[in-house]
Each structure stands twice: as structure tokens, then as C-alpha cells.
């Protein structure tokens, strides 16, 4: 009996696999930012980025669940390099904003690949992530503006985060299922 030869993955599924790495790496980078803020005795900023880390982890695990649900092999990757050294709060927020913009570009490429392959279910799956990136970029842009306006007074940034609960919208019931359950 001959073994069935597996078909190569489509570009869409290769990009999904790569995006799992990107999401886990973003999660690790956000932990590094949170720890930096913790070390600087900025608890609201630390709390915000610890939550962002969990959110990115959940995004990665939603991609894992989708691949499992569509009967694709999933490889759990290591993460890439994480930056830990910063000299100014603005650097951290600018890094986070750029990271969110990069993820948005990656998700757009996923959506394009699904459409090009006429994978309408895959394209529909990416729509939630596209919407999420609009929100993430907006929130991080706002946080960067607050940091700039505070002009070095980080207690104003802390007060803003405490008062406004930036990025603390709670559980999104429209989020795709997360492998193992969302944290």
C-alpha cells in the first residue's frame, strides 16, 4: 500500500504558519516592554503591556486553532529577537506602534493570499484580525500622543492609562476560537 503524498501547503497556509511566529514574538516583545516599565515603577504602563502580551499570545493561538480546524499541520515556532534596552519611554511606545503596523501589513498579506487562492473561508477568517489591527494601531498611536504631550511627566501617562483603560475592552465575543481557550 502506497503512502499518500501530502500536497504542499498553499501560500495562505505558509503565511498563517509564519504569522503564528509573528504573534508569539510580539507577545514576547510586549513582555519585555512590560518588564521595563515595571522596573521603572510605572505600574499602569506595565499592566497595559502585560495585557498586550496575553492578547498577542491569544491571537497566535487563534491562528493555531484555525489551522487545526482546517486540518493543517501546525508547527509551534520559537520566537525571534526581543529588544530589552531602552533609554526613553517614547522608544518603547514607538516600537510597539511599529510592531502593530507590521502585523497589520502581515495580516493584509494573509487576506490577499486567501483571496488569490479563492479560499473564501480563509479570507473571512482574516477579517477579524484586520479589524483588530485598526484598533491596535489607533490605541498605540493615542498612547504615543499622550506620551509626547506629557513631555516627560510619566505620572500623567500613568493617570491617563488608569483613567481611560486603554486597550482594556474586555473579551471580544467575535474573536475566533483560541486553541486551549483564551487567557
Give a yes or no: residue 179 inside a domain.
no
Does the annotation list 100 as a binding residue?
Answer: yes
Distance CA 63, CA 45 (A): 27
Give a yes or no: residue 118 inside a domain.
yes
Give a yes or no: residue 1 inside a domain.
no
Does the annotation list 19 as a binding residue?
Answer: no
Res 3: pLDDT: 46
Give a yes or no: residue 182 inside a domain.
no
Give a yes or no: residue 175 inside a domain.
no
Give a yes or no: residue 178 inside a domain.
no
Q: State the residue range of the domain holding 123.
A: 11-75+85-163
> Which CATH number fits the domain that encloses residue 122?
1.20.1260.10
Distance CA 13, CA 132 (A): 20
Does the annotation list 160 as a binding residue?
Answer: no
Res 5: pLDDT: 44
Res 98: pLDDT: 97
Nearest-Å Rg of the Cα atoms of the chain is 18
Give a yes or no: residue 44 inside a domain.
yes
Count of domains forming the chain: 1
Tens-digit pLDDT profile for the chain (183 aa)?
444 444 457 999 999 999 999 999 999 999 999 999 999 999 999 999 999 999 999 999 999 999 999 999 999 999 889 999 999 999 999 999 999 999 999 999 999 999 999 999 999 999 999 999 999 999 999 999 999 999 999 999 999 999 986 655 556 778 887 777 778
Give a yes or no: residue 46 inside a domain.
yes
Amino acid at each position: 500500500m502506497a503512502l499518500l503524498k501530502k500536497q504542499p501547503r498553499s501560500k495562505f497556509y505558509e503565511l498563517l504558519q509564519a504569522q503564528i511566529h509573528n504573534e508569539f514574538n510580539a507577545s514576547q516583545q510586549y513582555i519585555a516592554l512590560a518588564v521595563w516599565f515595571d522596573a521603572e515603577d510605572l505600574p499602569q504602563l506595565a499592566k497595559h503591556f502585560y495585557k498586550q502580551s496575553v492578547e498577542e499570545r491569544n491571537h497566535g493561538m487563534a491562528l493555531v486553532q484555525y489551522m487545526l480546524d482546517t486540518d493543517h499541520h501546525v508547527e509551534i515556532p520559537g520566537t525571534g529577537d526581543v529588544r530589552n534596552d531602552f533609554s526613553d519611554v517614547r522608544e518603547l511606545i514607538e516600537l510597539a506602534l511599529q510592531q502593530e503596523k507590521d502585523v497589520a501589513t502581515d495580516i493584509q498579506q494573509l487576506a490577499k493570499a486567501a483571496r488569490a487562492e479563492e479560499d473564501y473561508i480563509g479570507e473571512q477568517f482574516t477579517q477579524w484580525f484586520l479589524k483588530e489591527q485598526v484598533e491596535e494601531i489607533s490605541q498605540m498611536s493615542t498612547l504615543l500622543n499622550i506620551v509626547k504631550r506629557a513631555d516627560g511627566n510619566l505620572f500623567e501617562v500613568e493617570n491617563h492609562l488608569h483613567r481611560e483603560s486603554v486597550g482594556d475592552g474586555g473579551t471580544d465575543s467575535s474573536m475566533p476560537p483560541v486553541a486551549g481557550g483564551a487567557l
